[in-house]
């Protein structure tokens, strides 16, 4: 019987369980066995796994997190991990593997495919910055959470005549900031793609206050950087993960302090953090994740190795992992232009 492994890697996001459920349900119809690998690539290195049945995935569709656990393990960092992965793949008699993840997890999947392993991918990240697909699941939920937060901050900002700075996730790309900023009516949005000038930010806020609006909302992506130090994002700690990424966070505090200092307007900062990744997925993400999961099993059935399920327009298609991991998908100028119409 065909045996498919499935794993979830990288930062979690709402919708992972919906993909796992769809994989197991479609695999069962095709007569495949599904083995869940625990904790991302670590599950294959340490041989931590469980057989997934209809029972194990019952009731998980609306649940956040991942029943398989996740990690940022990079098996190519240490030769003994790489060897263990190959050994366990063979010992577990895996015929194929479905890797659910973002640029790092799918980068590993691509390399395994190049070495002849039968791997397919499913695109996941709240940041929505993966290439090859129009949208990753988890993003819509993160935008909904950030938008709700902005709405709530609006009323208190207005009551106190304050500037509210909201820091949202987005390491390399400002999709969450741009979308939640547009949806929440932000007065300024700062994203990694466009290094910011604080004097320009303050001019926009003052212009707004001059026309009688004595409160403002500034949305900042965690990876946004000032023009004086482009690309040097504010780190919350010096720790680096197995893929070489530092933990970001704190740019909002800097922006908030400077706005208060330069404008004299009372300012408060909210860092949304992991609240954006937790809890139940939106209906949109549940549907997208389900479509990706079904498609991934059908990619296995068709032998589409080295491919990733992707959304193009409103169709789910298969695209090469090499294309999906070649370059990050950044916020396009046209979308940002729409956001800018409402600045200041
Ligand atoms: O990759 C998704 C993401 O949420 C980024 O936006 C963020 O920088 C990072 O993960 C946070 O990672 P961690 O869960 O390790 O704090």
293-328 pLDDT, tens digit each = 999 999 999 999 999 999 999 999 999 999 999 999
How do residues 199-214 score in pLDDT, each as one tens digit?
A: 999 999 999 999 999 9
| Nearest-angstrom CA–CA distance, 110 and 99 | 10
- In ligand 1, which atom is closest to the CA atom of 277? 4
| Nearest-angstrom CA–CA distance, 234 and 252 | 9
Whether 127 sits among the annotated catalytic residues: the reply is yes
Residue 344 corresponds to which tokens in the numbers above? 């200041």
Residue 272 corresponds to which tokens in the numbers above? 């949304």
Over residues 56-75, the mean pLDDT reads 98
Please report which confidence band the pLDDT of residue 76 belongs to, taking 50, 70 and 90 as the band edges: very high
Measured CA angle at 166 (ends 164, 167), to 5 deg: 150
Mutate to test the pocket of ligand 1, among 40, 104, 127, 223 (most ligand atoms within 8 A of CB): 127
Report the separation in Å between the CA atom of 265 and the middle of ligand 1, taken as the mean of its atom positions.
Answer: 31
Run of H or E residues at 164 = strand 163-168
How do residues 110-165 score in pLDDT, each as one tens digit?
A: 999 999 999 999 999 999 999 999 999 999 999 999 999 999 999 999 999 999 99
Catalytic residue among 33, 127, 140, 187: 127
Please report which confidence band the pLDDT of residue 231 belongs to, taking 50, 70 and 90 as the band edges: confident
């Amino acid at each position: 019987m065909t045996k498919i492994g499935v794993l979830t890697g990288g930062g979690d996001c709402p919708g992972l369980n919906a993909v796992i459920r769809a994989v197991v349900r479609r695999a069962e119809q095709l007569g495949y066995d599904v083995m869940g690998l625990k904790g991302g690539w670590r599950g294959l290195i340490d041989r931590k796994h469980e057989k997934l049945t209809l029972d194990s995935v019952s009731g998980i569709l609306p649940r956040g997190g991942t029943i398989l656990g996740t990690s940022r393990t990079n098996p190519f960092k240490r030769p003994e991990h790489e060897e263990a992965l190959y050994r366990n793949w063979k010992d577990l008699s895996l015929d194929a593997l479905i890797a659910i993840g973002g640029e790092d997890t799918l980068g590993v999947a691509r390399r395994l495919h190049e070495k002849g392993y039968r791997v397919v991918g499913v695109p996941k990240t709240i940041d929505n910055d993966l290439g090859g697909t129009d949208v990753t699941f988890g993003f819509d939920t993160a935008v909904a959470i950030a938008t709700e937060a902005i709405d709530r901050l609006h009323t208190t900002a207005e009551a106190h005549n304050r500037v509210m700075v909201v820091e949202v996730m987005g390491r390399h790309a400002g999709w969450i900031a741009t979308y939640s900023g547009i949806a929440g009516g932000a007065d300024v949005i700062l994203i990694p793609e466009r290094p910011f000038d604080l004097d320009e930010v303050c001019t926009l806020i003052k212009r707004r206050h001059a026309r009688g609006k004595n409160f403002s909302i500034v949305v900042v992506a965690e990876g946004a950087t000032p023009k004086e130090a482009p690309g040097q994002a504010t780190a919350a700690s010096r720790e680096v993960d197995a893929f070489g990424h530092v933990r970001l966070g704190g740019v909002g505090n800097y922006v908030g302090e400077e706005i208060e200092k330069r404008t004299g307007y009372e300012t408060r900062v909210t860092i949304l953090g992991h609240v954006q990744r937790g809890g139940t997925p939106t209906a949109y993400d549940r549907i997208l994740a389900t479509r990706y999961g079904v498609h991934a099993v059908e990619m296995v059935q068709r032998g589409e190795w080295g491919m990733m399920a992707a959304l193009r327009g409103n169709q789910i298609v298969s695209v090469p992992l090499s294309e999906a991991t070649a370059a990050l998908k950044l916020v396009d100028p046209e979308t940002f232009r729409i956001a800018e119409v409402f600045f200041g």
